[in-house]
Amino acid sequence: MSENLDKSNINEEGKSKSNDSEQGLEDAVEGSDEALQKIKSGSPSTQRLQRPHSSPPRFVTVEELLETAKGVTNMTIAHEIVINGDFRIKPVELPEDSLEKKVKDIVHKAFWDCLSVQLCEDPPTYDQAIKLVGEIKETLLSFLLPGHTRLRNQITEVLDLDLIKQEAENGALDISKLAEFIIGMMGTLCAPVRDEEVKKLKDIKEIVPLFRAIFSVLDLMKVDMANFAVSSIRPHLMQQSVEYERKQFQEFLEKHPNSLDFVTQWLEEAADDLMNQKYRNALPAVGEASGSGDSPRPDPVAVQNYAYLKLLKWDHLHRPFPETVLMDHSRFQEFQLQLEQLTVLGAVLLVTFSMAAPGISSRADFAEKLKMIVKILLTDMHLPSFHLEDALTTVGEKVCLEVSSCLSLCGFSPLTTDKEAVLKGQIQAMASPDNPIRRIVDSRILTFLETYLVSSHQKPLPTAPGGLGPVQTELEEVAINFVRLVNYNKMVFSPYYDAILIRDVCWVTWSEVILIKFRLKDKSSKVSLEGDESSSEV
């Protein structure tokens, strides 16, 4: 197939096809046998598989929207727990001037005032207080593990509500004694970080403020217990999260059949870039297999790797993010910002060490010191208020000062005025993304990431390209996190990528389509290719 094939011609050809039969993934592959037969029979060109028509828009009910939102929320939480090792549940803190907080404060004040009135009666009324003791009892029991039999028995015996009611009726109830037991049990069950809060409870003598403080600390303990549960289930959740996220996304896809449109466009662009060599100056070239005829044929795995690298150059303001990586949108943005900073940092260090004497450029302590100085000056590079030109002016001044100082300490002549002017000018020129040195560093960084992505399961791992030695530690840290995120995304959504690549993007040989069909049959997920009208088991 010619690499200059017009996509509009493909769409017109697709419109001429019959839509009467329902096709799933396997039908789409089998339906491509005619096109693949041309390869087998020596046809001079191949045809892209037809792209199905988008399903017409349909109205949805509020219940469907709520159910969909719940499914997406659950999938997002599970994804965060697995991907983010620092994931923590935090207590809800309402803004001071918010209506919700004002209503909450009013309701709570009314409740505690009512309790205070009941306890001040003669004789006191303990109905509301006993209900609170019951809630505290249930909360303490929820903190226990299955093996905490002794503690469970203690809580059940001391906080026996029937016995407490009888004591209250007979005027023998000692609320202070119950509160003392509750505080002691809280001290036994709480995390070390809550010891100070529990200790402060012992200094409160009035019953109503004490109960109010007890519930406040119990809320914090609930958050601690939830975070403990998250850390405990994370290893087990990782084993199930791939299937769970894929299932949740499939359910979402069945209700919103057009939810792979941006993914399809993303993969198509990656394949076109590989074939046309359109962005080889901005992104590293990845492996391609030679196809029949004069046109190169992109490898499906190479297309996916290249597509992930394109996310590091994404225009987030003007282009929608692909659906299958949307949950990690902020992470890819963070990678992009980190790499932009590393590119400028690496370029500055490269020109600096090129002009400095070999004696100081090879000193690890000086290289590390200079890197930290430049890195600190570029710390706020991601902020909209940051002006790179002004920052690089300061960087040039500081770098020249440090280089001259190190040259003097090593017995060399300091930089001349002309050399300082040249070095400052080269550093200042790094503000332009089209600067040749900055482009070279950028290309080498992306080449390193692509190589790291390909060899992530092999040892030894690739070394940093020439000139990036000073930033190798930072680069490897970004590469490890990037590859981990990409590999997890592949595990979850590879059936969808395979289906799109077979159907729309990649040209496959007769033997390859058989291998891909077997690969897809091994995946226990369901992929919809024809919107509402067809789906197939993968």
If you search the block for the tokens 């023998």, which residue do you land on?
172
What are residue 297's DSSP bridge partners?
A: 289
Q: Among residues 255, 254, 258, 273, which one has the least CA distance to residue 313?
A: 273
The DSSP symbol for 323 reads G
Lowest mean pLDDT among 10-24, 197-211, 394-408, 452-466: 10-24
Tell me the mean pLDDT in the region 409-417: 80
Cβ count near 228 (within 10 Å): 12
The residue extents of the domains of the chain are: 99-240, 324-500
Measure CA 203 to chain center. Answer: 45
Cβ count near 304 (within 10 Å): 25
Taking CA atoms, 68 is separated from 60, 236, 268, 382, 511, in Å, by: 11, 26, 28, 34, 40
Taking CA atoms, 529 is separated from 98, 173, 499, in Å, by: 46, 69, 8
Q: Amino acid identity, residue 181?
A: F
* Residue length of the chain: 538
Tens digit of each residue's pLDDT (9 = 90 or more) over 240-274: 788 888 888 888 888 888 888 999 999 988 888 88
Tens digit of each residue's pLDDT (9 = 90 or more) over 51-95: 444 444 455 555 655 565 555 566 677 777 777 777 777 877 888
For residues 383 and 375, give the distance between their C-alpha atoms in angstroms, rounded to a whole number.
15
Tens digit of each residue's pLDDT (9 = 90 or more) over 301-348: 888 999 999 999 999 888 999 999 988 999 999 999 999 999 999 999
In degrees to the nearest 10, what's the CA dihedral of 483, 489, 493, 499?
-30
Q: pTM higher than 0.75 for the full model?
A: no
At 297, which helix (H) or strand (E)? strand 297-298
Lowest mean pLDDT among 14-18, 168-172, 363-367: 14-18
Residue 144 near residue 151 (C-beta atoms within 8 A): yes
Query: What is the DSSP track for 134-146?
Result: HHHHHHHHHT--T
At residue 419, does pLDDT exceed 60?
Answer: yes
**Tell me, what's the pLDDT at 504?**
63
Tens digit of each residue's pLDDT (9 = 90 or more) over 105-127: 899 889 898 988 988 888 888 88
Work out the angle at residue 323's Cα, subtended by the Cα atoms of residues 319 and 325, and round it to the nearest 5 degrees: 95
**Tell me, what's the pLDDT at 372?**
92
At residue 383, does pLDDT exceed 80?
Answer: yes
Tens digit of each residue's pLDDT (9 = 90 or more) over 442-472: 999 999 998 888 876 666 667 778 888 888 8
Work out the angle at residue 447's Cα, subtended by the Cα atoms of residues 446 and 453, and round it to the nearest 5 degrees: 90
**Tell me, what's the pLDDT at 16?**
41
**Tell me, what's the pLDDT at 230?**
79
For residues 199 and 272, give the distance between their C-alpha atoms in angstroms, rounded to a whole number.
66
Q: How does the average pLDDT of the chain come out, rounded?
A: 77
Q: Which two tokens stand for residue 363?
A: 């000193």
For residues 485 and 249, give the distance between their C-alpha atoms in angstroms, rounded to a whole number.
17
Tell me the mean pLDDT in the region 8-33: 40
For residues 246 and 527, give the distance between their C-alpha atoms in angstroms, rounded to a whole number.
10
For residues 200 and 213, give the distance between their C-alpha atoms in angstroms, rounded to a whole number.
9
Q: Among residues 140, 106, 272, 153, which one has the least CA distance to residue 215?
A: 140
Q: How many helices (H) and strands (E) are present in the chain, helices listed first?
A: 21, 4
Contact residues for 327 (Cβ-Cβ < 8 A; gap 6+): 75, 76, 79, 80
Crossing angle of helices 329-355 and 388-409, rounded to 10°: 40
Q: H helices of 143-191, where?
A: 149-158, 161-169, 175-189
For residues 537 and 522, give the distance between their C-alpha atoms in angstroms, rounded to a whole number.
10
How many angstroms separate the first and last alpha carbons of the chain? Answer: 28
Taking CA atoms, 473 is separated from 162, 361, 478, 480, in Å, by: 65, 18, 9, 11
The listed range with the strongest mean pLDDT (353-357, 409-413, 466-470, 532-536) is 466-470
Query: What is the DSSP track for 101-123?
Result: HHHHHHHHHHHHHHHHHHHHSSS
**Tell me, what's the pLDDT at 465?**
80
What are residue 537's DSSP bridge partners?
A: 526
